[in-house]
Amino acid sequence: MALDYRKCAEEIVSKLGGKENVISAAHCATRLRLLIADNSKVDSKALEEVDGVKGMFESNGQLQLIIGTGTVNKVYEEFLAVTGLSAASKADIKEAAASKMPLWKKVLKTPGDVFVPILPAIVASGLMMGLVEAIPKFWPAFGQTDWFSFLDLVANTAFALLPVLVAISSARVFGGNVFLGAVIGLMMVHPALINAWTVGNYAAGEIPTWHLFFFNVQQVGYQGHVIPVILAVLLMSKLEQWLHKHVPEMIDLFVTPLVTVLVTSFVTFTVIGPIFSIFENWVLAGAKWLITVGFGIGSLIMGAIYPLTVVMGLHHMYNVIEAGMIANTGLNTWMPIASAANFAQFGACLAVALKAKNQRTKSVALPSSLSASLGITEPAIFGVNFRYMKPFICGMAGGAIGAMFASWVGFGATTYGVTGIPGILAVNNIPMYLIELVIAASIAFALTWFLWKEDDVGEASKKAPEKVEAPLYKPEKAVIKCSAGEVLQTTPGKVIPHTEIPDETFATGVLGDGVGIQPAEGVVVAPFDGVVTNVAETKHAVGLECNGMELLIHVGVDTVNMKGDGFEVFVKEGDTITAGQKLITFDIDKIKAAGYSDTVCVLVTNSFEYDDMSYPGVE
Amino acid sequence: MKSFDYVITDEVGIHARPAGLLAREVKGMAGSTVSIGKTGDEKVVNVLKVMGVMGLGIKKGDSVTVTVEGGDEDAVCAKVEEFFKANF
């Protein structure tokens, strides 16, 4: 059944505590990423129940809702329409979230932020590359055709010029000018520079070198590099922002971009580039070393921790390692590890899908597991496995064993960016790859099947039966009417004009005109469809709003002194309420024992704005 | 514009009734707009908006900043400050 995007967005907004509570919104391949003003206003249980929301979690100061590929962008559009927010750039979200996040997390998060927006390009190209390059294996003649040559060009464009995409995305993340970012990226893969992937063909002395001041800069491009690009654009963005502030406006338009590009380029080629080329090679060497550690132990470790790096958004970084492997040896032995890890998450998620009795859990887990089997694991990890934790850990175990097996057999892929089933076309040993996938998935599946119980789902489903309780008092008649609407009787009992409330403050109408109710039962229900604007810490009063009318419901007189004892409140500030919904319950006897009046005061605090107030319920 | 800071000593802070009393006190001072907010906080409301004042959640020990704009600012400010000292 097609999802009603509008309805989904509206429900999300209401469960978030209204549009006022949303600072900004962005989305990635599968998730709606929100920055919330007051997290306490968010009804997270209800959010998870919204049709279309596959899961939610908080990370790095952001509230992230898993919606799913192809759907999230549509829900996002409706979300913007409902909230009136403009499309937030990553910079907005990041900047606002940054204040809530320690530095090391910010650093860890950046590559993920940069890569998520360019995922469509990389996923498309990766799949295409896998297919195009696999065909000549079955049909060698195809490799000589114009079609192969053309398709190969189409497929590898995004990877050959990856630094450009990274630079553009980084500029957005860091708040720099996107076009200047593009220039930096383009420069780093400029055709006049020697391609980083073919530089190995040159003898050391043959590589042309610039002598700039006391720097000797080899004229080599940055194909396949990621971190130096991100750093260069980070520097560029900060420099640009600083210059905008300090350069007089009249000359800003030509001075700022000129200085920004010139300085950034110089520092990039002389400092950032050389240092981080070395550093990336270390990372590559470290990972390569790890996976060559004896008897597949390194692969075992890597296969286990791989999904954790997905959670942290670090896995996009591995394209660098994979690209490096292909550049260096032509064989990507990283891919079987990633595949085992991903396919194990598929197995775990499938186990949840088959075992769960809850229809909702099933309906989320099944498509998520299919997506994972194709190598896109985010819905399965965030929407299912990581939420219930046990399946996630079972998946880690499966991934570890699968990766170790792959390392024992010793096969690899000839391309990168694909895992799971499409990976079949990319590997050099299809039978062993299939066995690896089966091992990873079946271990994860079996462990999840036996260890995970649906009770682990958490409070959300446990709480469900509680909703069946004795029918509440149902409000039927209106006690206050004015042009803004009607106020139904909130509490059963005798209705008196506010002037008869046994307290001077209420009686004189200082807090607005309205009625008092001498309660027959200690319950307050919502008198209209509206919003909760205020809840007293002492639980004895709530402020509501509907159509501009502000209503104060104050239980008892001087009951503030009871400090919440004998009162229970069921809503919080920002909640949307419907007429008849339970707001407060209170203990009439306790109020009387404390020596206070139990009169429930229902007052329109802005009654001076209405000249047509009437009180039909007063006896 | 005139303003003063005040630290709440009343046990229950500024809740419904105190907010109402404050509104009544200020209602008579035509021509002046009196606003209140926690000291240093951006959220400031007109004291006539009883619900808004309650929404500030002002408790004992909180410092509030009260500002008076328009009308006889000096006199109104002094009067409101006196009211705070007497009641809160």
pLDDT in tens, A210-232: 888 888 888 888 876 777 888 89
Pair of tokens at residue A179: 């076009």
Q: Is the pLDDT of residue A456 over 50?
A: no
As a whole number, mean pLDDT of residues A18-34 equals: 77
Q: Is the pLDDT of residue A469 over 60?
A: no
Q: What is the pLDDT of residues A500-550, one digit of tens each?
A: 888 777 787 777 888 888 888 888 888 888 888 888 777 888 888 887 788
pLDDT on residue A348 = 96
Q: Positive or negative, the Cα torsion across A519, A520, A521, A523? A: negative
Interface test with B, best of A511, A559, A561 (most B CBs within 10 A): A511
> Which of A135-144, A214-223, A404-413, A452-461 has maximum average pLDDT?
A404-413
pLDDT on residue A395 = 95
pLDDT band at A283 (very low <50, low <70, confident <90, very high): low
Q: Is the pLDDT of residue A401 over 60?
A: yes
pLDDT band at B16 (very low <50, low <70, confident <90, very high): confident
As a whole number, mean pLDDT of residues A196-215 equals: 75
Greater model confidence, B62 or A159: B62
Greater model confidence, A482 or A443: A443
Please name the helix (run of DSSP H) or strand (run of DSSP E) that holds residue A550, with its range, or none: strand A549-555
B7–chain A Cβ distance below 8 A for any pair = no
As a whole number, mean pLDDT of residues A391-412 equals: 92
Amino acid at B10: D
CB contact under 8 A, A606 and B20: no
Contact A310, A346 (CB under 8 A): no
As a whole number, mean pLDDT of residues A449-477 equals: 57
Q: For Cα atoms A352, A337, A389, give the angle at the middle one, nearest 5 degrees.
A: 30
As a whole number, mean pLDDT of residues A259-286 equals: 80
B21–chain A Cβ distance below 8 A for any pair = yes
B87–chain A Cβ distance below 8 A for any pair = no
Q: Positive or negative, the Cα torsion across B35, B39, B40, B42? A: negative
Q: Is the pLDDT of residue A356 over 60?
A: yes
As a whole number, mean pLDDT of residues A413-423 equals: 80
Establish whether A190 is a catalytic residue: no
pLDDT on residue A458 = 40
pLDDT band at A431 (very low <50, low <70, confident <90, very high): very high
pLDDT band at A468 (very low <50, low <70, confident <90, very high): very low
CA distances from A225 to A313, A319, A420, B78 (A): 18, 9, 25, 68
pLDDT band at A201 (very low <50, low <70, confident <90, very high): low
Which residues sit opposite A48 in a β-bridge? none
Residues of chain A with pLDDT > 70, as a percent, come to: 81
Distance, in Å, from the CA atom of A7 to the CA atom of A78, rounded to the nearest integer, reads 9
Q: Is A206 exposed, middle or buried (0-12, 13-18, 19+ CB in 10 A)?
A: exposed
Greater model confidence, A351 or B10: A351
What mean pLDDT, rounded, does chain A reach?
Answer: 80
Greater model confidence, A443 or B17: A443
As a whole number, mean pLDDT of residues A292-315 equals: 76
Greater model confidence, A374 or A175: A175
Q: Is the pLDDT of residue A345 over 90?
A: yes
Which residues sit opposite A584 in a β-bridge? A524, A569
Q: Positive or negative, the Cα torsion across A217, A223, A227, A232? A: positive
Residues of chain A with pLDDT > 90, as a percent, come to: 16
Distance, in Å, from the CA atom of A291 to the CA atom of A341, rounded to the nearest integer, reads 14
Interface test with B, best of A605, A606, A608, A609 (most B CBs within 10 A): A605
CA distances from A83 to A13, A15, A54, A57, A67 (A): 7, 13, 21, 21, 18
Distance, in Å, from the CA atom of A84 to the CA atom of A80, rounded to the nearest integer, reads 5
B10–chain A Cβ distance below 8 A for any pair = no
Q: Is the pLDDT of residue B20 over 50?
A: yes
Please name the helix (run of DSSP H) or strand (run of DSSP E) that holds residue A523, with its range, or none: strand A523-525
Which chain A residues contact residue B17 at CB under 8 A? 503, 505-506, 511, 558, 560
Task: Catalytic residue, from B15, B38, B49, B59: name it.
Answer: B15
Please name the helix (run of DSSP H) or strand (run of DSSP E) that holds residue A22, with its range, or none: strand A22-27
The least confident of A199-208, A216-225, A228-237 is A199-208
B75–chain A Cβ distance below 8 A for any pair = no
Which residues sit opposite A576 in a β-bridge? A531
Which residue intervals of A293-389 are DSSP H helices?
297-311, 318-329, 335-355, 359-373, 378-380, 386-388
Residue keyed to tokens 């800003």: A252
The least confident of A35-39, A141-145, A260-264 is A35-39
Q: pTM (2 decimals)?
A: 0.41
Which chain A residues contact residue B59 at CB under 8 A? 537
pLDDT on residue A179 = 93
Which chain B residues contact residue A573 at CB under 8 A? 55
pLDDT band at A250 (very low <50, low <70, confident <90, very high): confident
pLDDT on residue A200 = 59
Domains delineated in chain B: 2-87 (3.30.1340.10)
pLDDT band at A448 (very low <50, low <70, confident <90, very high): very high
